[in-house]
A and B are shown apart, each in its own frame.
Chain A
């Protein structure tokens, strides 16, 4: 179900072409299985938002804005700030017959982003609470998919992390002397600060299972052929913040919806129950536990290195903006774009 409304419908010969190509390690755009496309990163493009970023991977184009306001903490966690994540799929990029399908695909991505950045505990929500039970910061993370060319989840995670690095909120003075305590906002935006430790935020890396092998950074056609994917979010220090399986597009084709029996080499256990026939059965969408464990460590390593690369790129963006425009997020220059290659992927090729 995951983003099927964004995927092309392929003929069986097109799928055969992609599957055989991936199996022999050649992808239709000339990349290897673990080669990612260049990433173009821009920050500080939305003057009305407290933080913003744009990530372009191929023709995938993600724009993220973070808005901050003061609000009421939730009843369940009165001593914590709140972060709301939302992904919007613009009508220009989907081929859904029913717009509700596109909405539900975007919603799924929104839940993934919430799990990566909020549920992982990487952001200390207690720091965002000003007066327990009455005033806290609310962050609204809104991601828009302006163009889709595969790999939306990773691109959104990249953009959200970059937007956090651009996030500036005003300082506040809490007057505890008065009853009830009041909050005064320092209107001088030069003293605005970033309340989040961006270096501790994770980035995601999704390994897509196409045929029997895994690849990164797929094109839409490859996603349509994928039977599933394993998304791993990890920080630069190698802490795993989210592991989640995603559905690929293959389930909508009848050939791949059947379980295919493959003979198992003699002496190799499938891990199935006793009495099961001596075959390995491959279904659409499932993933072998062994390959999950393998992919988990590979993806963690890659996510780690990409997070470091992004930190480096963000540093360069920040330097460029201080050089050309004092300080502050209002700087919006094309020369802030920083492309970075994920060239070390080849070193971690496992599959």
Chain B
């Protein structure tokens, strides 16, 4: 726990200024009056890191993610025999990425993000074309402005494409949060749910949050590689959120393909 390599602040410290970000509520609506179905504008640039085989930088307002792809190269992990390649995903959240400073180095959440990014990307890759080799994907979250996981997946899929790794399709991720107009515990009224696509930090922290959904979709294959839906809701609402995410993925796919063809 204690970081012995650096000089740490005393254990009980609090930021001098409170969190200036006010969470959005069902009554206040989305931040800046954004439309429920509007995805934040994307800035995507590939080959930002000349060292790497492929790399990309993705910005969506307050969310900034950079990804470098190395390989295919010799795997540095010991592993049992397999006749396909592997990918090795590492996620690092910068200490200044969020409202609270994080301890430097990897934390537990980074490991979870890495596992999910790996699961989202795997079906999009032609692992059979680089047997026994490893493609190493390093993702740095520079700024967390909400929807970090989909940003990391989209950034990584663009970096993989720019690295020329054989792929079946782009894995495009999009998420929604469902906001209950009343307290989520009452839950009986289905019509009171609103879905906000691509939420920012203030929207993810909403006290009216009833659930969240993340979908990674490969539009050409018409397949979903990663889907996580949390929160408690009847199946109809889950299906509705799923379709909303799919629609979001399709619109993001268009933009990302445009960026990739422009940079190619």
Contacts and interface: CB of A to CB of B under 8 A. Distances in A.
A287 B84 contact: no
Interface stretch (A151-159, A291-299, A311-319): A291-299
Contacts of B233: 239-240
Interface in B194-252: 217-235, 238-239, 242, 246
Interface stretch (B56-64, B65-73, B119-127, B151-159): B119-127
Nearest to B85: A257
Contacts of A280: 222
Interface residues of B, number: 49
Contacts of B239: 293, 296
B115 A285 contact: no
A122 B100 CA distance: 28
A240 B238 contact: yes
A296 B218 CA distance: 19
A9 B218 CA distance: 28
Nearest to A285: B123
B101 to A, nearest CB: 12
Nearest to B121: A285
B123 A284 contact: yes
B122 A1 contact: yes
B184 interface: yes
Interface in A248-299: 251-255, 257-259, 270-273, 276, 280-289, 292-293, 296-297
A287 B232 contact: no
B217 to A, nearest CB: 7
Contact of A253 (B83, B124, B217): B83
In the complex, which range does the number of interface residues on chain A fall in?
A: 35 or more
Interface in B150-171: 168-169
A95 interface: yes
Contact of A281 (B111, B168, B238): B168
A95 B235 contact: no
B229 to A, nearest CB: 4
A243 B238 contact: yes
A286 B84 contact: no
Contact of B230 (A115, A255, A282, A296): A115
A254 B83 contact: yes
B126 A286 contact: no
Contact of B127 (A120, A254, A272, A300): A254
Interface stretch (A103-111, A185-193, A337-345): A103-111
A292 B235 CA distance: 12
B242 A293 contact: yes
Interface in B121-137: 122-128, 131
B232 A283 contact: no
B228 A115 contact: yes
Contacts of A227: 123
Interface in A1-40: 1-2, 9
A241 B232 contact: yes
Contact of B235 (A96, A238, A245, A289): A238
22 contacts: A9-B82, A75-B100, A95-B80, A107-B112, A120-B230, A120-B231, A121-B184, A121-B232, A238-B235, A240-B233, A240-B238, A244-B229, A245-B224, A245-B227, A252-B82, A276-B220, A283-B168, A286-B225, A288-B222, A292-B224, A293-B242, A297-B235
Interface of A: 1-2, 9, 75, 95-98, 101, 104, 107-108, 111, 115, 119-122, 202, 227-228, 230, 235, 238-247, 251-255, 257-259, 270-273, 276, 280-289, 292-293, 296-297, 300
Interface of B: 77-84, 100, 111-112, 115, 118-119, 122-128, 131, 168-169, 184, 187, 217-235, 238-239, 242, 246
Q: Which 5 A-B pairs have the closest CB atoms?
A: A286-B223, A285-B123, A254-B128, A243-B229, A257-B127
